[in-house]
């Protein structure tokens, strides 16, 4: 089995709107395996580390305030080419209006600042984000019984 992993975060608007199951279903339908998931209200320190490359952007304080506004769902997904494929499933940009029909952001996100979901943009950032949000004991190493039907 391909062991590439990616980090996905359902943001407070996705949790509050109760569309977690619909999002998870899309990844499972694509054949990816969830290897970790937790619900939490992140603290400011965690969010500042996660979004450190945006720290000097004018919208940074509003982003942190929004991300502190309620619970999030942090997940690790595994599968063949999972980083690129999930990123494509989310929608390539942040603005839901500019997304291709059928992407998660096009279908569910309502505005730019509340764009519902985050996904790692590279294998390197996925590993960094996974290590930031999870410890090794929280990650389950398992093999789905249908794997031979899903992957070559």
Q: What is the CA radius of gyration of the chain?
A: 15
The verdict on whether 118 is a catalytic residue reads yes
Alpha helices of 12-118 — where are they, by DSSP H?
12-16, 20-29, 44-50, 60-67, 82-90, 104-108
User: Token digits for 68?
Assistant: 């502190």
In whole angstroms, what is the distance from residue 115 CA to residue 126 CA? 19
In whole angstroms, what is the distance from residue 43 CA to residue 65 CA? 10
Closest C-alpha among 63, 54, 56, 72 to residue 16: 72
Catalytic residue among 11, 50, 105, 118: 118
In whole angstroms, what is the distance from residue 62 CA to residue 138 CA? 30
Residues catalogued as catalytic: 118
């Amino acid at each position: 089995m391909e062991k590439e992993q990616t980090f996905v975060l359902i943001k407070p608007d996705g949790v509050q709107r109760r569309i977690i199951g619909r999002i998870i279903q899309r990844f499972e339908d694509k054949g990816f395996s969830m290897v970790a998931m937790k619900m939490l209200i992140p603290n400011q320190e965690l969010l500042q580390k996660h979004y450190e490359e945006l720290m000097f952007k004018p919208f940074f304080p509003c982003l942190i305030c929004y991300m502190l506004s309620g619970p999030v769902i942090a997940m690790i997904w595994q599968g063949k080419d999972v980083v690129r494929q999930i990123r494509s499933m989310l929608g390539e940009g942040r603005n839901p209006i500019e997304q291709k029909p059928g992407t998660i952001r096009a279908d569910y996100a309502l505005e730019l600042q509340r764009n519902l979901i985050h996904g790692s943009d590279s294998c390197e950032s996925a590993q960094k984000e996974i290590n930031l949000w999870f410890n090794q004991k929280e990650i389950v190493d398992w093999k789905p019984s249908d794997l031979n039907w899903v992957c070559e």
